[in-house]
Each structure stands twice: as structure tokens, then as C-alpha cells.
Structure 1
Amino acid sequence: MAMPQAETQKLITVFGGSGFIGRHVVARLAQDGWRIRVACRRPDLAFFLQPLGVPGQIFPVQANLRDPRSLAAALKGASAAVNLVGILAESGKQRFDAIQGKGPGAVAEAVKAAGIDNFVHVSAIGADARATSRYARSKAAGEAAVRSALPDAVILRPSVVFGPGDDFFNRFGAMGRFLPFETVVGGNTKFQPVYVGDVAEAVVCAVSGKARKGATYELGGPEVRSFESLVRYVLAVSDRKRPIVNLSFGMGKFVAAIMQTLDRLSLGLFPKLLRMTTDQVELLKHDNVVSDAAKAEGRTLEGLGIAPTAFESVAPSYLYRFRPTGQYEEQRS
């Protein structure tokens, strides 16, 4: 495929464009000919994105959700904006309320002040102002702030996102390689894994005007599977025979509290692979799937004309490295 010309006049600002989802969104926007300003806290760590387009098409800039001036500067001259900033767990000054609760509102207000009416905000399935999880409440607060500033903004809520470099399948693949057993909390909780490439395509559809203004889309893959069955799938693909310990929510919360304490006492040296928070346990009490209402109203990937990608067709391409002999496993006699 021929690369687009860098001199295109379409300029879009992508907040959080250097993250897992962001790099796929940036690559897909580049294919469509956008000039992309990647706004992030550490632009010096985002230069790896530049080869995804032609010279001059992708350029990182510094922006901080707590600094309105940096947001305004990042949006200068843009005709569209996307917010992808989010965290899975709190750490140091990175708190749910600041990043996911107030942050989207700050971005939306800056977008409004810049006179931009094409804005896409990526949230998450499960966002709920009444949720027991602080993560879910912060996501809902962020959505409400966006709606208050920009009623016509398009909000995308993906289920758990998979793809090379994800924090879901890779995590359990690594646990199967290094640990004698897998631990699951809420094994019956349902997920609808969605491919990162499909999420990126949904973002492009939204900024291109193919999504309904002011709508909230829920993005899920073609299959709904239980948490435990997904972990078993990872073990099967990586050829690791490990027992699965399915903890109750009460026991899971107790173990998570211990893990959080050890993480704090270790001053950041506690293995990331073993980190688990009590808030994540709260999240696992609820299924993470596309709602019936979203399906009925066409607020899904299919409603955007996107055929969801099955995780079985992608995950083996990066889970092979967790096999005992890596990519050569199938060549053994």
C-alpha cells in the first residue's frame, strides 16, 4: 500500500498516542492521510511512532492533563482530536480520579475552546457512576465531563483489548512460564476480547464521520468467554500444563491487599507480574461484555461496518514465545 503524502492538510491531535492502543490508532490514521500530533507526557519516548508514517507526518509533543496551556498548544491548528489517556492501576501521582475522571473533561474543554467539534474519547465497558470499583467510577466521571463540554463527542467503550503487547493474554502467558500455577479471581466473569486493530479502526470511523454524533459505542469481539476459559486457552496455546486456582472474590481481595502492601514496601521493585489490586477484584465482579441495548441500537463494531476479529486468529502469533521451545515447539517430534 502506498503511503499517504505528508503534506495533507488534515491535522489530528491524539492524546495518549504512545500507549498500547495509541500506537495502533496512530498507524491507522497515518494510512488515512492524517498528519498526527501525538500529545503525551514524555514525547522523547514516542519517537518510535514516526516510522509509522512518511517523514513529517507524525510528530510527538509534550502535553499534561493538569496543564491547560499544554493542552491548548497541542490542539493548535487541529481539526480533530482523540483522547486515549488511561491507566489500569494507580501508581504514585497517577490516580484514577485525576487521569480518568478529571482528565477527559480537561481535554474536552480544551477541544471546545479550540473550536474543534470532531472529538473521540475512548473509555471502557463497565463505566458506571454507581460502581464499587474506583476505576469504573472514574471512567464514568470522565464520560460525563466529556458529554458536558461536547455533547456531540463520540465515546468508544472497548471490552478487554488484545493484540501484540497487550496486558491480558501476555500476562497469563508469562505467569504460565514462570509460575507453577495460575491464579484466577472470578473465573466465571464474562469477557468479550476485542482486537486492538478493530478498536483503532473504530476510532478512524468516528473521526471520519461514520459514527453517530453523541453516541456511545461498545466494542467487543465475536466471542464471549469466561475469565477461566481464556486463561485455559492461553495455557493450551503456550503448551503449559498448569493447575488453575480459582479464588473467591473475598479471598481474591485479601490476596490483592497483601500484594498492594508488598508493592508499596518494595518501592516499586515488586514484580509487575504478581501485582493485583483490590479495585481490580471489584471490577471482576461484573461481566465485561457488549450490552443488549448497544446491540439493538447498532452501537457496536458491526454498527460501524467492522467485522470483529476473533482472538484465536491473532493471539497465537505472539503467545508462541511462552512455549517451552518458543516458535519451534511444533517442529518437535
Structure 2
Amino acid sequence: MPKSVLLIGGSGFIGRQIAAKLAQRGHRLTVPTRHREAVKADLLVLPNCNLIETDIHSPAVLNQLCAGQDIVINLVGILHGSATAFEFNHILLTEKIIAACQANGVKRYLHMSALGADINGPSMYQRSKGQAELKVRASQLDWTIFRPSVVFGAQDRFLNLFAGLLKIAPLLPIGGANTRFQPVWVGDVARAFAAAIERRELIGQTLHLVGPHVYTLAELVRYTGQISGHSRAVIALPDWAARLQASLMSILPNPPVSHDNLDSLKVDNIDPAGFASVLGWQPAALETIAPSYLAQSNPSARLDLLRSQASRSPHKES
């Protein structure tokens, strides 16, 4: 049965994929955003999608947005910022959304957290995500929490970031080179959110969303270079050098790494138990998805991709 869904953070990379999946299933969407013009091409083409330019941090606005909704989804997250910024976007906003849900009788709440969320974690990002989870669990809402590892897909800011750096750099020095990740495809993340809307047995569950394979950060960077046609040497930096690099990069308008990112890299971002089995499907492997967008500027890799797709296609009987 179609639901009315408020998708907070729906204009981002993951949010746009979730919006498309929910619209495909007939749900009615309200997506608040700070910059309507920047995202309208992706979202306004969706059926039953209402895009509203507004301030989601205003309790009055949240009250208006939550009125009449069946489900509220909170995807808001930042990777860079001060302790105040992490508290504002992860903890205080979660509190405001929960209060607006309670004031408007909205029971079903889906919350995007992160693998590694921990109130005692080494980074402000991990600690603030862990504190937000505590707020969700203490609410009287019918919640589901999602904990993805790093999410990849055609418009990601992870593999595409490395592809861009590798294109211009003769070599790439990185911190946390040996930290392990279990990247999950954005399509599987979107499908998990859609499943939580439609399956009540997922209420009260914390779902770990990870891919089928584990890689070190250095392995992911090398793979990105290989597929994009810009293979480079990857240099593992000691912590002091990585922090010096982060300090130098902090003058950039959108720095690729921060000191807090390096703190997050002190712990592996994996789950040995694998993708949440309760969801009932196996997640896509990085190698089956990433070449479709990383190989665009690499003719030989693009040809290999076409060949592999042809080999997987069913043969017609003559």
C-alpha cells in the first residue's frame, strides 16, 4: 500500500537513489532541500515527489513537514566539520525530527547511521552518529537503524574522488592505507530502505549494510586507478605525515581528508557477519558495478566491461 514519506536528506547521493526506489514502488514523497534548483532535475522527474526548499533545522518547519506523513526518513550526515557541526547535524537534528514525529503522530522512523557508530569511537563523526542512535532507541517510535559501510555508486564521493585525484597526481600518498572497508552498493542501500517501509518485522532492528568483499583503503585506490585508466603508485603515510597532509588540505574549499577522517580510519569499517541476512538477498559486488562508471574514460576497461556483460547475457536458442 503506498505511503506518504518525508525524506530528509533526500537530495544527496544516497537520498536520490532511495527517492527513485520509493517512487518506483508508488510511495508519495516529500523531499526538503536547501537548494531546489540544484537537484530538481533528478527529483522532479519522479512521480509523486514534492520538492520543497526550506530549512530542515527549524523545529517549526519540521512540524509542518511531518504533518500528515506515514513515515519519516532521516539521511542527514556530514563527514567534515567541527564538534559543534557534528552535534548540530547528527544529534540535535535527530532530536528535532523525533520531536516533530511525536508531535504529529508519526510512528514509523527510518534512521541512517553508519558502520562504526560508537559513542566511544575515535572520531567525532563516529561518536556523534553513536549518540544519535541512542536518541532514536530511546524514542517511542517504530524505528529501524541502518549502518552502511562506505557506499559506492555512479555519483559517489568515494571512488569518484580517488579517480579524480589519480587522474592528476603522479602518485597518491594516503593515510589509513591498511584500514579495511566493506563497500556496499547504493542500490542495495535503497532497496533496504524500501524493504523497511513495507516489512513491519524490521521495526526495532539495526541493519548492517555491507558488501560481500573486504578491501584495504590502498586496495580500493589501486583498483580505482586500474579501472579508470590512471594506475598510480599508492604510498601509505604514517599517521604524522597523514595529519600534516590533512592540515595542508584544510585550506581547500572542500578538502578530501580531515583530521577527523583520519581518526575514523583507526578502526576497520567491516562486519564479519556480512550483509543483514534478514533482508533476504545478497548484495552486489564492487567489481560488478564500479567499472560501469569508473571505466568511462578508459577505452580498454570499457571494452572489457562490454565483453563481460555480453558473456553474462543469456544466449538465444536458434
Structure 2 length-normalised TM: 0.89
- The CA distance in 1 between the partners of 2:5 and 2:161, in whole Å, is 32
- The CA distance in 1 between the partners of 2:143 and 2:305, in whole Å, is 48
CA contact (8 A) 1:136 1:283 kept: yes
Counterpart code for 1:288: N
Match of 2:117 among 127, 132, 139: 127
Mind listing any 5+ residue stretches in structure 1 that lack a counterpart? 1-7
| Partner SS state of residue 203, structure 1 | helix
Residue 82 (structure 1) aligned with residue 73 (structure 2): yes
Counterpart code for 1:84: L
For residues 264-315 of structure 1, the C-alpha deviation after alignment (integer angstroms, 9 at most, x for no partner) is xxxx3xxx4x5321000001111001254xx5xxxx4332113201011110
* Equivalent position of 2:235 in the other structure: 245
For residues 7-66 of structure 1, the C-alpha deviation after alignment (integer angstroms, 9 at most, x for no partner) is x86211100111000000000001111010012223343322345433xx0011234343
CA contact (8 A) 1:30 1:53 kept: yes
CA contact (8 A) 1:186 1:284 kept: yes
* Equivalent position of 2:26 in the other structure: 33
Compared CA separation, residues 184 and 111, structure 1 to 2 (3 A): same
Residue 64 (structure 1) aligned with residue 55 (structure 2): yes
Deviates more, 1:73-82 or 1:249-258: 249-258
- The CA distance in 1 between the partners of 2:258 and 2:24, in whole Å, is 38
Structure 1 length-normalised TM: 0.85
Deviates more, 1:147-156 or 1:243-252: 147-156
Compared CA separation, residues 246 and 50, structure 1 to 2 (3 A): closer
Compared CA separation, residues 78 and 152, structure 1 to 2 (3 A): closer
| Partner SS state of residue 111, structure 2 | strand
* Equivalent position of 2:291 in the other structure: 316
RMSD across aligned positions (CA): 2.4
For residues 55-101 of structure 1, the C-alpha deviation after alignment (integer angstroms, 9 at most, x for no partner) is xx00112343431111111112111111111112128x981110012
- The CA distance in 2 between the partners of 1:245 and 1:201, in whole Å, is 36
CA contact (8 A) 1:123 1:156 kept: yes
| Partner SS state of residue 153, structure 1 | strand
Residue 304 (structure 1) aligned with residue 285 (structure 2): no
* Equivalent position of 2:313 in the other structure: none
Mind listing any 5+ residue stretches in structure 2 that lack a counterpart? 307-318
- The CA distance in 1 between the partners of 2:286 and 2:71, in whole Å, is 31
For residues 239-276 of structure 1, the C-alpha deviation after alignment (integer angstroms, 9 at most, x for no partner) is 2231111112232122212222x23xxxx3xxx4x532
Residue 155 (structure 1) aligned with residue 145 (structure 2): yes
- The CA distance in 1 between the partners of 2:201 and 2:279, in whole Å, is 7
Number of aligned positions between the proteins: 306
CA contact (8 A) 2:185 2:283 kept: yes
- The CA distance in 2 between the partners of 1:132 and 1:109, in whole Å, is 29
- The CA distance in 2 between the partners of 1:314 and 1:329, in whole Å, is 13
1:235-314 alignment runs, 5 A limit: 235-260=225-250, 262-263=251-252, 268=253, 272=254, 275-290=256-271, 292=273, 300-314=275-289
Residue 107 (structure 1) aligned with residue 97 (structure 2): yes
Residue 46 (structure 1) aligned with residue 36 (structure 2): no
- The CA distance in 2 between the partners of 1:130 and 1:86, in whole Å, is 18
Residue 13 (structure 1) aligned with residue 24 (structure 2): no
